[in-house]
Amino acid sequence: MLLVDQKADVLFSKIDFAEKKIKAISSPDEILGTYIKDLTDWLNVLKDQVSTAQNEFREFIEETNFSESDYVRDEAQKGLLKNMLRTYEEIEASFYLGVDTFLPLMPVWIHQRYNEDTKRGHKLLVDFIQGLLRLSRIPEVMMTILGEAHACLPLSWGNIMKHVVFVTYSEMESLRRWVLLTHEIGHAFYDLHFEEFNSSVIPQVIRKLVETRPLNIGQRELETVIYIWTRKWIPELVSDCFSVKTLGPPYAVQFMLLALNSEPDRTDVSHPPFNLRVNFMMDTLESLALPDFNIDFYRNVWNSYSRSITRPSSRYILNEEVVEAALSGIDAVVRDTPIRTKWADILSARETLLAGNVPEKGLVSIVSATALIDQTINLAPIYKGLLERHTSYSDAP
Amino acid sequence: MRDAQIFLEASRLANSALKGVHFVQIARNKGRSPSASRIEKIDDGIKLLERVLATLEAREKQETVSSEALSILYAISQGRLLAGSSVLKQTVANSIGELERFKRGDTETIEEAEELLEIIAGSTAEEATKASAKVRIFMMEAR
């Protein structure tokens, strides 16, 4: 058997393994079920890709008389052999991104959903995530996995795009911190509305980057800065804007805690500086003009730290015109403001929580209200009350 | 993750075009007419280069850009000396013309287009690997 055919066999056996693992789940719950259907279709696509690669290699052998006992000398044949091998690399990478990343999450999901230690807390978190999705009108159900950090894992199976939300395990009982998960849902919002951002905000930002490019910035640096803004920073800022317009002050307050560090203006390839993000959130909040919320108080709190330890940046990537084009463009596309209708509920829930009771409100409102309550107040009884309310029945595996 | 997938798709299209080019070259070297399916593969490369060209032009006019083309421009700029926008546009336009002539059989060899497609396929595959490595770390931590 040719070495290349052995490689194809390895891929086929990985696909078979994935299919077997899927079939072994006899009755998947309603959330996992939506992933399984799309994954099964994607495995069939991958199987076709491996078969096509095998057939192409047979044609290559027919055309070139290739044999594993000698090496290729003709330039076109050498080039074709390289292309054939690259095809296998591409399929392997596709398998890794779409299958190897997701497959181990299925047993983790099932374990966390039905295990005695985690099932109730996990169920409450899942309810919260589904509540957030409904509030923000994102037509998707999302697997929620207790893991190492808050994160959103996007999965692309052909034309189908799905997401998995990860929640920091050590914060699973910290209700206040749950509002930060809105940012992860924001990444799904960005993917859902990608075409709109791609036809408005992204061209505006690129135009400004080109217009304001200093003489000492070469083509390579320009391409890098365009890439960072369009592929990394804009999605992050969209998620921030989405989060503030969805949950308002509770999100911004908890984000300030997360962002508080010694270098609020530090630039990172993957995320814009915290200072830029918090100021964007404050401006967005101000434009919402929510009643009974003193934006100046929070602005001053943030500035008391950030203005004290940083100075304005003159870096090209943070050019004011570029930032303004990005923020105003994002604000225009993220139109919905669910917080406007939710805010009264959240304020009312906060009053009930301060009296030590579990409010008769929806889970999203209650969790949001906890984010506004002084950190010294113990929310453990509230968490217990919510567990009882939301997990009074148990799911059978 | 999404980055890795976009890089991977760009690499797949450039590689597919190169397979077409090399299959056609081998057939012609043997004095045979290449099959239509092999010639069609070259269209993958032409379409990809047309998207890069359109994106270079759209960037100047503040119009919708192709995220695939943006990723290509980033990938080919990493670790390589990238010419200014006008020179790059000329190279891409020349390559499209070269591929069209090669398809029709007006020319037997292609140089600029093959080199450009090879750079695109190689550099985007490399960036896909880098982006996948980040996913790998994330998944290890997440588990």
Q: Which residues contact B33 (CB under 8 A, 6 or more apart)?
A: B27
A99: its two tokens: 């299958």
The residue of chain B with its CA nearest to that of A84 is B19
pLDDT tens-digit readout, A239-253 = 999 999 999 999 999
SS3 B81: coil
Burial A83-113 (b: 16+ CB within 10 A, else e): bbebbbbbbbbbbbbbbbbbbebbebbebbb
Among the listed residues A378, A9, A392, the one whose alpha carbon sits nearest the alpha carbon of residue A173 = A378
pLDDT in tens, A192-231: 999 999 999 999 999 999 999 998 988 889 999 999 999 9
Q: How far is A47 from chain B (nearest CA, A)?
A: 16
Tokens of A320: 């004011």
Per residue in A170-201, pLDDT tens? 999 999 999 999 999 999 999 999 999 999 99
Chain B interface, best mutation among A155, A223, A239, by max B CB count within 10 A: A223
Percentage of residues of chain A with pLDDT beyond 90: 86
Determine, for residues B142 and A219 on separate chains, whether the beta-carbon distance falls below 8 Å. no
Residue A146: phi and psi, rounded to 5, are: -80, 120
Q: Which of A305-308's residues contact partners 24+ apart within 8 Å by CB, and which partners?
A: A305/A260, A305/A264, A306/A264, A306/A265, A306/A274, A306/A275, A306/A278
Q: How far is CA A354 from CA A74, A328, A349, A370, in A?
A: 80, 37, 9, 9
Mean pLDDT is lowest, of A174-178, A291-295, B3-7, for: B3-7
* B21-69 confidence digits (pLDDT tens): 999 999 999 998 889 999 999 999 999 999 999 998 888 887 888 888 9
Contact B15, B44 (CB under 8 A): no
**Dihedral pair phi/psi, residue A28, rounded to 5°:** -65, 145
Q: What number is the average pLDDT over the span A318-324?
A: 95
Nearest Cα residue in chain A from B117: A83
Of B1, B62, B63, the CB nearest to A154: B1
* Contact call for A93 and B15, based on CB within 8 A: no
Residues A295, A286: contact at Cβ < 8 Å?
Answer: yes
Question: What is the residue extent of each domain of chain A?
Answer: 3-103, 171-339
Nearest-angstrom CA–CA distance, A28 and A264: 44
Give yes or no for residue B141 having a pLDDT over 70. Answer: no
Closest residue on chain B to A88 (Cα): B12
Q: For position A391, what pLDDT does the model report?
A: 87
In angstroms, what CA-CA distances link A360 with A76, A178, A347, A349?
Answer: 73, 19, 13, 8
pLDDT at A271 over 50: yes
| Residue of A48, A54, A90, A102 to mutate, interface with B, max B Cβ within 10 Å | A90
Residue A210 sits at the chain B interface (C-beta within 8 Å) = yes
Report, as an integer, the average pLDDT of A85-101: 94
Kindly report the average pLDDT of chain A as a whole number: 94
Q: H or E segment at A93?
A: helix A75-95
What is the nearest CA distance from B74 to chain A, expressed in angstroms?
A: 5
**Helices marked H in B30-84 — which ranges?**
36-61, 67-77
- ipTM for this prediction: 0.90
Give me the phi and psi of A46, to 5 degrees please.
Answer: -65, -40
**Over residues B94-123, mean pLDDT:** 92
Q: Return mean pLDDT, chain B.
A: 86
Helices (H), A219-372: 219-227, 234-247, 249-259, 274-288, 295-309, 320-333, 338-354, 363-370
User: Cβ contacts of residue A119 below 8 Å, gap of 6+?
Assistant: A112, A113, A391, A394, A395
The whole-number average pLDDT for the span A62-70 is: 91
Residues A126-133: what's their mean pLDDT?
Answer: 98
Closest alpha carbon within chain A to B32: A63
From A101, A153, A198, residue closest to B65, measured CB to CB: A198
Please tell me which residue of chain A has the smallest CA distance to B8: A90
Q: A316 vs A273, A322, A335, CA distance in Å?
A: 14, 9, 29
Point out the least confidently predicted range of A83-92, A304-313, A329-338. A304-313
Segment holding A36, helix H or strand E: helix A30-64
Q: Is the Cβ pair B19, A56 closer than 8 Å?
A: yes
A77 Cβ neighbours under 8 A, 6+ residues apart: A64, A66, B22, B26
- Distance in angstroms (rounded) separating the CA atoms of residues A8 and A51: 8
Residue A182 in tokens: 């809105």
| CB nearest to A86's CB, from B65, B125, B143 | B125
β-partners of residue A166 are A145, A151
| Residue A209 Cα, gap to closest chain B Cα (Å) | 10
Interface of A with B in 221-240 (CB under 8 A): 223-224, 226-227, 230-231
Chain B contacts of A97, Cβ < 8 Å? 1, 4-5, 8, 132, 135
Residue of A nearest to B20 (CA): A80
Q: How far apart are CA B100 and CA B43, in angstroms?
A: 9
pLDDT at B81 over 60: no
CB atoms within 10 A of CB A80: 27
Distance between CA A330 and CA A351 in Å, rounded?
34
Are the beta carbons of A56 and A25 closer than 8 angstroms? no
Residues in chain A: 397
Alpha carbon distance A350, A366 (integer Å): 7
Residue B34's closest chain A neighbor by CA?
Answer: A63
DSSP letter at A170 equals G
Q: How far is A200 from chain B (nearest CA, A)?
A: 7
Angstroms from A344 CA to nearest CA on chain B: 36
| A contacts of B113 (beta carbons < 8 Å) | none
Q: Which residues of B touch A56 (CB under 8 A)?
A: 19
CA distances from A181 to A129, A275, A387 (A): 8, 20, 19
Rounded to 10 degrees, the C-alpha dihedral A45/A48/A53/A55 comes to: -170
pLDDT (tens digit per residue) in A350-366: 999 999 999 999 999 99
Q: At what angle do helices A219-227 and B67-77 cross, to 10 degrees?
A: 140
Question: Model confidence at B82, in pLDDT bands (50, 70, 90)?
Answer: low
A206 close to B (CB below 8 A)? yes
- Beta-strand runs (E) in chain A: 143-147, 151-157, 160-168
Return the pLDDT at A396.
Answer: 44
Q: What is the pLDDT of residue B142?
A: 45
A–B: how many Cβ contacts below 8 A?
142
- Give the pLDDT confidence score for residue B140 in this predicted structure: 53
Pairing of β A143-147 and β A160-168? parallel
